[in-house]
Structure 1
Amino acid sequence: MDRTNPGNDPELNGKYLGTISQDFVKIAETLKDASYQIRKRGFSDFPMFPICKTDQVIGELLIDKKGANLEWNYFASYLDEFVQRKLMDKPEEFKVTYKDPDEFCCLFVIDKEFTNFLFIPYPEDQWEQLNS
């Protein structure tokens, strides 16, 4: 699988986008703040949030689905970890297609039948609240 092109996959939209979107509106502010902190503290300019319905090893658990009444667990990570774990072999190509982290959240969906990146825009009202 080519994971250097983080464009949204049509297969993802139908099967997963509903549950991911339902979760995302509840936690978008938390993810946006985590993205900002990852960048501000110098960890990476390319924060990523692996999501999975079970436990997995990429990143650190940020939001547990059980405690937050969500469908997915949310983990915090960044580009260098993906490269170190050999999950991505062309990071320069990925950087070119990576979307503005102030406007989009980079999710890495991990499921039995599907694994890929998804860029989802932060809700505008929350973005405006954070910048006012």
Structure 2
Amino acid sequence: MDREELLNATPEDSGVPQKQQSPLVSLEKDLEFYADAIKEVAIEIMVEGISAHPIFIAHQHEVSIGEIILNKEELNTDWTIQASTLEEFVEKGIINKEKYEPFLKVYKKPENFMCVFVIVPEGANFIYYPYKTKG
């Protein structure tokens, strides 16, 4: 049985295909849970002058960019979050130098949104997740 068949396997007895739950459902739950801590780190990155463009990496395996700030093993969650910066993404070649300016144009205000680079087995992509406004 290959990986694809395992992912789409359904219980034989029901005869009804089970809807595959997207890993993004658990990511959203974790981002909500982590939001205050992530915002704190984002502000720290900006205040300390490290970068005006913090990027957080959400993954379930191991990645070699950024520093772990929230470990899924320690926190009993589904996703580990690492903190990085736009500059590190360019330096490591994840964002091409030619894409730097276009990326800045779509980069949302880090005071209101966390920029998350989500890594899943199928690939990786940027999402912007809003911080909850208190009040």
Question: TM-score, normalization: structure 2?
Answer: 0.80
- Give 1:113's aligned residue: 122
In structure 2, how many angstroms separate the alpha carbons of the residues matched to 1:44 and 1:71? 27
Structure 1 residue 79, shift from structure 2 partner:
0.4
- Give 2:86's aligned residue: 79
Q: Deviations over 1:9-52 (max 9, x none)?
A: xxxxx833311111012110000000000000001110000111
In structure 2, how many angstroms separate the alpha carbons of the residues matched to 1:69 and 1:60? 19
Structure 1 residue 119, shift from structure 2 partner:
0.2
How many residue pairs align between the two structures?
113
Query: Which 4+ stretches in 1 moved above 4 angstroms?
Result: none
- Give 2:72's aligned residue: 65
Out of 14-23 and 66-75, give the one that drifted further: 14-23
Structure 1 unaligned spans of 5+: 1-13
Q: Deviations over 1:44-70 (max 9, x none)?
A: 110000111011101001110011111
Residue 48 (structure 2) pairs with residue 41 (structure 1) = yes
Question: TM-score, normalization: structure 1?
Answer: 0.81
**Equivalent residue for 2:39, pick from 26, 32, 42:** 32
Give the aligned CA root-mean-square deviation in angstroms: 1.2
Letter in 2 for 1:26: F
Letter in 1 for 2:61: T
**Equivalent residue for 2:104, pick from 67, 78, 95:** 95
- Give 1:8's aligned residue: none
Structure with bigger gyration radius: 2
What is the identity percentage for the equivalent residue pairs of Structure 1 and Structure 2? 33
